[in-house]
């Protein structure tokens, strides 16, 4: 399974719950984790399911990243958050990967 991994603007890090509510996916629970926060959002089309995303930082002085799994719903949410200005386009131009990140099992690498 792949992941979206997109740099977040430093001034917008704490705005994610408000932005998620504005686009129709209110945060129903948060969990603090070692390197960030996991957000569980209500899914308006499936009341018994939640959608998850993370704001995480790999190292102390590194930028924060928005991460979520790849799905059609994730793509719609990422597009809406992009319109809201959550993502740091300047960092993504400087070589950060902003599209879907592929995960490979051990011993496998992408075809070149």
Cβ atoms 75, 8 nearer than 8 A: no
E-only strand ranges, 58-102: 64-69, 100-101
Collapsing DSSP to helix, strand or coil, 5 comes out as strand
Query: What would the pLDDT profile of 48-107 be if each residue is shown by its tens digit?
Result: 889 999 999 988 888 899 999 999 999 999 999 999 999 987 765 444 344 444 443 444
The conformation of residue 15, written as its DSSP 8-state character, comes to: G
pLDDT of residue 59: 83
Q: Where are the domains of the chain?
A: 16-94
């Amino acid at each position: 399974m792949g992941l979206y991994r997109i740099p977040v603007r430093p001034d917008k890090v704490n705005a994610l719950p408000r932005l998620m509510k504005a686009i129709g996916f209110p945060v129903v629970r948060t969990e603090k984790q070692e390197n960030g926060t996991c957000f569980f959002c209500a899914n308006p089309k499936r009341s018994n399911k939640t959608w998850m995303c993370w704001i995480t930082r790999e190292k102390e002085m590194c930028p924060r990243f928005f991460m979520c799994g790849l799905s059609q719903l994730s793509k719609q949410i990422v597009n809406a958050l992009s319109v809201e200005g959550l993502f740091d386009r300047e960092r993504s131009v400087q070589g950060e990967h902003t599209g879907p990140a592929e995960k490979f099992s051990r011993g496998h690498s992408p075809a070149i």
